[in-house]
């Protein structure tokens, strides 16, 4: 796949990119490329590494814990310096930060999301949920 994706302007003036992907581990790579491309097109390269890491965590969580065959990744430019990345899946179970152990092999994704984002949350939607993170470029 090439890195050309439609970036749309919403009636609110916000810029938006979205893609439907299969709920498989390989979709994390496509989601990273999508986030990188959208963020670069908006001149927010300072957020590139952070956005790729966090979209990978969001997609990985949806692949591991959600239901259904697909997921939807969105990247929304909220302002000159702020971006929201979301992953919509077909499961209405809210993710929760859980205690982790030193020898545990998983369970750190939401801690990473919490540490690296300005904010994050979950929107319950008809037929599923959207887990999102907000990133802000340092001035």
Name the residue ranges covered by the structural domains of the chain: 16-136
pTM attached to this predicted model: 0.86
* Residue 95 or residue 62, greater confidence: 62
Inform me whether the pLDDT recorded for 88 exceeds 90: yes
Which architecture, in CATH terms, is 16-136? Answer: 2-Layer Sandwich (3.30)
| Greater model confidence, 106 or 100 | 100
Chain segment 60-77, per-residue pLDDT in tens? 999 999 989 999 999 999
Confidence band (pLDDT; 50, 70, 90) for 2? Answer: very low
Is pLDDT above 60 for 21? Answer: yes
pLDDT at residue 86 is higher than 90: yes
**Cα(29)–Cα(34) distance, rounded to whole angstroms?**
9
Q: What's the distance, CA 67 to chain centroid?
A: 17
pLDDT of residue 95: 82
Residue positions counted in the chain: 139
pLDDT, tens digit, 9 for 90 and up, residues 39-50: 998 899 999 999
Q: Give 47's DSSP letter.
A: G
pLDDT at 103: 59
Tell me the pairing of strands 70-77 and 128-136. Answer: unpaired
Between these two residues, 139 and 59, which has the higher pLDDT value?
59
- Please give the Cα distance from 85 to 103 (Å, whole number): 30
Phi, psi of 135 (to 5 degrees): -115, 150
Residue 49 is encoded by which pair of tokens?
């590494």
How many whole angstroms separate alpha carbon 82 and alpha carbon 113? 16
pLDDT at 1: 40
5: helix, strand or coil: coil
Contacts of 61 (CB under 8 A, 6+ apart): 87, 95, 109, 110, 131
């Amino acid at each position: 796949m090439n890195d050309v994706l439609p970036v749309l302007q919403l009636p609110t003036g916000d810029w938006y990119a979205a893609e439907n992907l299969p709920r498989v581990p390989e979709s994390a790579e496509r989601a990273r490329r999508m986030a990188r491309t959208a963020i670069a097109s908006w001149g927010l390269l300072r957020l590139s590494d952070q956005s790729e890491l966090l979209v990978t965590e969001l997609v990985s969580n949806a692949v591991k814990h959600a239901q259904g065959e697909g997921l939807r990744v969105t990247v929304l430019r909220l302002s000159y310096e702020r971006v929201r990345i979301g992953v919509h899946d077909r499961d209405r179970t809210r993710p929760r930060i859980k205690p982790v152990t030193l020898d545990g092999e998983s369970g750190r994704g939401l801690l990473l999301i919490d540490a690296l984002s300005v904010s994050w949350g979950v929107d319950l939607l008809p037929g599923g949920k959207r887990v999102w993170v907000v990133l802000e470029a340092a001035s």
